[in-house]
Structure 1
Amino acid sequence: MRLFQKLKRSIIATVLVWPLTANGHETIDKLSLYTEDYAPLNFIQDGRLTGISIDLMEEMLKRAGANQNRDSIKVVPWDQGYVTVQNRPNSALFAMVRAKNREQQFHWVGPIAKTSIVLIGRESNDQPLQSLDQLSGARIAAVNNDVGHQLLLEQGFDPTGIQLISSPQTAIGLLNSGEVDYWAYDQLVVSWHLNQSGNRSSLTARYILGQGEYYFAFNKRTDRRIIVVFRQILDEMREDGSLEKILGRYMTSDH
């Protein structure tokens, strides 16, 4: 039965991909692809764009018969990419946490990885946190339009206490200097950057704002066939072990 279902999905995917990749791969190769510097999901290392979502997208493009590859992906600040993909047909931004306030703004392909959005603070700050109500007057760093920023606002945190930043390195510097008390961000990404910066022992997760999963987010006016094909290909990668193999390249046991 499972073999029949797999064969059926493969046939459907082939039928759907054919009109996308015919005539010079015109439809799928018109996709505008955007990402940010957000290791280990997407980042530049030794001059090459890499990471979980980059490897996945390149493999999906390859399996779809597209001419595009990782060199076709533009690296932009998160806020710029977010606004662009909200407004530009046939475009995608990744990796993005699928959240309630974003649900109707994009088409979703995934999930590709689980995540916790946390408040990172200094270990020397030993005040136990049970709710955001305890943080009156606190200063929290967050990236504009990042899910951490959005969760703070949704949960009623005073926006005047949020310092908007553009990079994890800036947040780590602000925490170490005492200019902010906390940093709202993804725990997987935080762990990566703390390991890289050598600050792992001095900064720690103090409070969980929310949990979710990462997806590829596509503009709502993207050709529907592209969404269906990418979903099918990602399902196949999950079944054949390709997704797990890519995750294993970047996620260590302490993540």
Structure 2
Amino acid sequence: MPAAEGIALRSLLYCRLSIFLLGLWLPLSLPAEPLRLYSQEYPPVNFSIAGEPAGMAVDLVRELARRSDQPITLEMVPWARAYREVLTQPNAGLFVTMRTAERENLFQWVGPITVNITSFYGLSRSAPRIDSLDDARHHGEIAIPRDWYSHQLLLAEGFSNLRPVPGPDMVVQMLKHGRVKLMVMDNLGLPAYLARGGLDEDEVKLLFSFLRSYSYIAFSSQTAPALVARWQAELDGMKRDGSFAAIHQKWLLGAEMPGLRALP
């Protein structure tokens, strides 16, 4: 081989080797894009303390991120904004949200995280008797958090006496001050919202339970399916090794824990 051709060949091999080594190095040196996670005020599952995210689901997603080696950002925002962001943005997730037939194909799901029982409640001293959904239609306006799954479900059931308001805090205030005789709330958030609203638990009576549902982390449809599958696998692992139970009982002592998987 002539000397010039040998030099050219060595240069070509050196160039290809450099490109190969660079390809090996880049994935290790560039951090993964942070996963943007949105949540809303829903104590004790997810809420903020002095501006910092806290709660059962917050502890859980942080541990899932650690186990998945996935950088994340957490932001507490109003429900409507969180829902809109995750509907339209890649690499984004919303927690916690109820997995329903209507939402099934809009998101990718990791869970279940909590079991929620939604009911009609009234003030103990003046609560009407409610034994069915039909009974609830005939007792004036019902305060309910706007756009929550319970609101959507009762609208689908033909309720015309709902009074949707921006959130559970206002729902409690409307019941407390007699502006409505009934409110809709789920069992997990009820104690915290009553305390924030200045009501003792014995001042409010459970009248009729109408919905059992499971909450999940909802990832946008544009998020990589492999990432979603990894988070589901890590959650299943936490349920098997007891670490999920430890987090759940820390925040939701006595509440029913979900199993490995549940249908919508």
Which TM-score band applies after superposition, normalised by the shorter structure? 0.7 to 0.9
Shift, 1:173, TM fit? 1.0
- Consecutive unaligned residues of structure 2, counting only runs of 5 or more, are 1-26, 257-264
1:15 counterpart residue number: none
Larger Rg: 2
Distance 2:52 2:110 in 1: 24
2:30 counterpart residue number: 24
- Consecutive unaligned residues of structure 1, counting only runs of 5 or more, are 1-20
1:242 counterpart residue number: 243
Distance 1:227 1:184 in 2: 32
RMSD of aligned Cα (Å):
1.9
1:43 counterpart residue number: 47
1:67 counterpart residue number: 71
Percent of aligned positions with the same letter in both sequences? 27
SS of residue matched to 2:223:
coil
2:82 counterpart residue number: 81
Distance 1:23 1:151 in 2: 48
Higher helix content, 1 or 2: 1
Q: 2:39–2:94: 8 Å Cα contact kept in structure 1? A: yes
2:14 counterpart residue number: none
Which of 141, 144, 154 aligns to 1:142? It is: 144
Distance 1:59 1:188 in 2: 21
Shift, 1:66, TM fit? 2.2
Shift, 1:97, TM fit? 1.5
Question: What's the CA shift string for 1:80-118, capped at 9, x where partnerless?
Answer: 211221222221110112122222221110011111111
Q: 1:44–1:50: 8 Å Cα contact kept in structure 2? A: yes
Q: Which amino acid aligns with 1:141?
A: A
Distance 2:149 2:249 in 1: 24
1:169 counterpart residue number: 169
Distance 1:119 1:151 in 2: 13
Distance 1:83 1:97 in 2: 15
Q: 2:40–2:78: 8 Å Cα contact kept in structure 1? A: yes
**1:224 and 2:233 correspond:** no
Distance 1:206 1:22 in 2: 57
SS of residue matched to 1:138:
coil
Q: TM-score, normalised by structure 1?
A: 0.82
SS of residue matched to 1:95:
strand
